[in-house]
């Protein structure tokens, strides 16, 4: 299955992607990982991207799509893939299709905006080991990290409420229109993303008929 995950920041895409990787036996493709890999290895695509980044310019959609397609051509993607965080815009989605890569399903995890803010603004992170907690749903016992035995717990700048609301605005403007794009193409399916991860996962399996 060739799958695109859609949903606002904090909708649970990362959590469910990890489960679907095992279920479908396909890799999760993240553009952030691809950029880091290509830049580190000094590939032709990485060097082309570096030029734009050092100029302080956005990497063109066509180059991002080239990087994605280069990864999708690897052997472990023969049975399918999960695209997480890409495409982010209508232009990227169309460029991906124009390049010859068609997705089977675009799965949207639907979560109310108020829930998204609560999920993200409540996140806590261990400064030492990076373990994640939530001040409401999974607070660390004693206020320190249980994973590494006492690391300092703090709120990342990305998880501050003002930043969270800005991230939501960016998603609404740039990425939410993909729902309509994939709906018109017949690939869109939506799943209620509210509830325990196990419950949401069962809904996903039913929606994808797997």
- Going 144 to 159 to 85 to 176, the CA torsion angle's sign is positive
Structure tokens at 82: 């999960």
Helix (H, G, I), strand (E, B) or coil at 84: strand
Among this protein's residues, is 123 annotated catalytic? Answer: yes
Give the C-alpha separation, 177 to 188, whole Å. Answer: 12
Give the C-alpha separation, 149 to 67, whole Å. Answer: 40
Helix (H, G, I), strand (E, B) or coil at 25: coil
Give the C-alpha separation, 94 to 15, whole Å. Answer: 27
Q: What string of DSSP letters covers 120-172?
A: HHTEEEETTT--EEETTTBPPGGGS-TTTTSPPEE--GGGSHHHHHHHHHHII
Among this protein's residues, is 184 annotated catalytic? Answer: no
| Choice among 18, 23, 36, 156 that is catalytic | 156
Among this protein's residues, is 37 annotated catalytic? Answer: no
Q: Strands of 188-192's sheet, edge to edge? A: 28-30, 81-84, 2-6, 105-110, 188-192
| Choice among 37, 88, 165, 203 that is catalytic | 88
Among this protein's residues, is 167 annotated catalytic? Answer: yes
| Choice among 13, 71, 105, 119 that is catalytic | 13
Q: What string of DSSP letters covers 173-209?
A: IIITHHHHHHHHHT-EEEEE--S-HHHHHHHHHHHHT
Among this protein's residues, is 13 annotated catalytic? Answer: yes
User: What residues are labeled active site?
Assistant: 13, 88, 123, 156, 167
């Amino acid at each position: 299955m060739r799958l695109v995950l859609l949903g606002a920041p904090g909708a649970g895409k990362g959590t469910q992607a990890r489960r679907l990787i095992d279920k479908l036996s396909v890799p999760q493709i993240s553009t952030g990982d691809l950029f880091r890999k290509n830049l580190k290895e000094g590939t032709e695509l990485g060097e082309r991207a570096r030029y734009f980044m050092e100029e302080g310019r956005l990497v063109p959609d066509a180059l991002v799509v080239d990087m994605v397609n280069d990864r999708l051509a690897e052997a472990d993607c023969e049975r399918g893939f999960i695209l997480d965080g890409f495409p982010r815009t209508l232009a990227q989605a169309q460029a991906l299709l124009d390049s010859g890569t068609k997705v089977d399903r675009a799965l949207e995890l639907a979560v109310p905006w108020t829930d998204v803010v609560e999920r993200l603004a409540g996140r806590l992170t261990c400064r030492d080991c990076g373990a994640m907690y939530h001040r409401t749903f999974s607070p660390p016992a004693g206020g320190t990290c249980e994973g590494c035995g006492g690391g300092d717990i703090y709120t990342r700048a990305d998880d501050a409420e003002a930043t969270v609301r800005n991230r939501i605005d960016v998603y609404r403007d740039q990425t939410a229109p993909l729902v309509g794009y994939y709906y018109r193409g017949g690939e869109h399916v939506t799943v209620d993303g509210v509830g325990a991860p196990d419950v949401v996962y069962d809904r996903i399996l039913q929606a994808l008929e797997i």
